[in-house]
Amino acid sequence: MKRWSRRAIVSVPYFWLGLFLLVPLLLVIKVAFAEAARAIPPFSSLTEFEDGILAIRISINSFAVLFEDTMYLQAFFNSVVIAAGATLLCLLIGYPMAYAIARAPAHQQSILLMLVLLPSWTSFLIRVYAWMTILGQNGPLNNFLISIGLISEPLEILNTNLAVYIGIVYSYLPFMVLPLYANLVKHDLRLIEAAQDLGARGLTTFTRITLPLSKNGIIAGSMLVFIPAVGEYVIPELLGGSDTLVIGKVVWQEFFNNRDWPVASALALLLVLALLAPIVWFQRNQDAVR
């Protein structure tokens, strides 16, 4: 009975992953190897019966289109660059925040963590729309900069890559802070005290002890920010404007504007395969530490 109980408990997450991850992925793979067609749904069937014989028709035309048209490669490159830059900014901003929370008195840490998570309680879409107002030419940011005399005319921030960076950093910063805090709060402070007793200064103690020990938190936070940021659609669409070419927008256009589901599925499949590399690397790094 204990053995069957354990198997039943373990089977729940496997069932969840199979239903909501594996099955949709298999559907995407099926569509990616089909051909576009004027039908509902707009792609051909992979299997057909001809004279009582099952015929399997697999097409790789969708993948060929992705490598022939430089627009798709440019969109993927832009997505990686924006995601990497936003991840670096989240790390530079989030690390001091996580360090301050981890070193704060115990009764204050929960309050500080709640302040980090508090914006996430509001709808993601509403928060992005709010940034459209803030970054607009007549928005609070430009009005404040003009009022203090820092600029003489409104800045063009909205519908630029800068606005995309601001939106991604604001939206995904908690995903960087929380793993870093979980790592930093577990550090043995006696190591720092020992280093200080031996004459090490603050910067030396940080670079030789705190930073190396927080490696896993940095990697985990970076993965949690980078992976969803690569496929981000809402923020580039609302804050970046029509000239911002990223993979999420291209997938949406292929699905809904061009009605080319095979190309969109092939693009989504290649994106998943590309993101598997950092995930596997992170898992191997975690196993090596253990």
What pLDDT tens digit does each residue of the chain (290 aa) get?
A: 677 778 888 888 888 888 888 899 999 999 999 998 888 888 888 887 777 777 788 889 999 998 888 899 999 999 999 999 999 999 999 999 999 999 999 899 999 999 999 988 888 889 999 999 999 888 899 999 999 988 888 888 898 999 999 999 999 999 999 999 999 999 888 888 888 888 888 788 888 899 999 998 999 999 999 999 999 999 999 998 777 889 999 999 998 888 899 999 999 999 888 888 777 777 776 666 55
Closest CA to 236 of 171, 173, 125, 160: 160
Cis peptide bond upstream of 41, omega within 30: yes
H/E stretch holding 118: none
Sorted by where each starts, the structural domains of the chain and their CATH numbers stand as 69-259 (1.10.3720.10)
Farthest CA pair distance, the chain: 86
Query: pTM higher than 0.85, yes or no?
Result: yes
Closest CA to 57 of 36, 35, 42, 40: 35
| Confidence at residue 180, expressed as pLDDT on a 0 to 100 scale | 95
| Confidence at residue 46, expressed as pLDDT on a 0 to 100 scale | 84
Residue 229 near residue 87, CB atoms below 8 Å: yes
Strand stretches in 14-89, DSSP E: 47-50, 53-56
DSSP code for 119: G
| Confidence at residue 289, expressed as pLDDT on a 0 to 100 scale | 56
| Confidence at residue 44, expressed as pLDDT on a 0 to 100 scale | 86
- Residues in the chain, how many? 290
pLDDT, tens digit, for every residue of 200-258? Answer: 887 888 888 999 999 989 999 999 999 999 999 999 999 987 778 899 999 999 988 88
Residue 208 near residue 245, CB atoms below 8 Å: no
Helices (H) and strands (E) in the chain, counts: 15, 2
Give buried/exposed letters for 72-88 (b at 16+ CB in 10 A, else e): beebbebbbebbebbbe
Secondary structure of residue 229 in the 3-state scheme:
helix
| Confidence at residue 290, expressed as pLDDT on a 0 to 100 scale | 56
Separation of CA 211 from chain center: 23
Residue 141 near residue 134, CB atoms below 8 Å: yes
Rounded distance, CA 159 to CA 141, Å?
Answer: 15
Secondary structure of residue 53 in the 3-state scheme:
strand
For helices 70-103 and 106-117, what crossing angle results, to 10°?
150
| Confidence at residue 85, expressed as pLDDT on a 0 to 100 scale | 96
Residue 227 near residue 279, CB atoms below 8 Å: yes
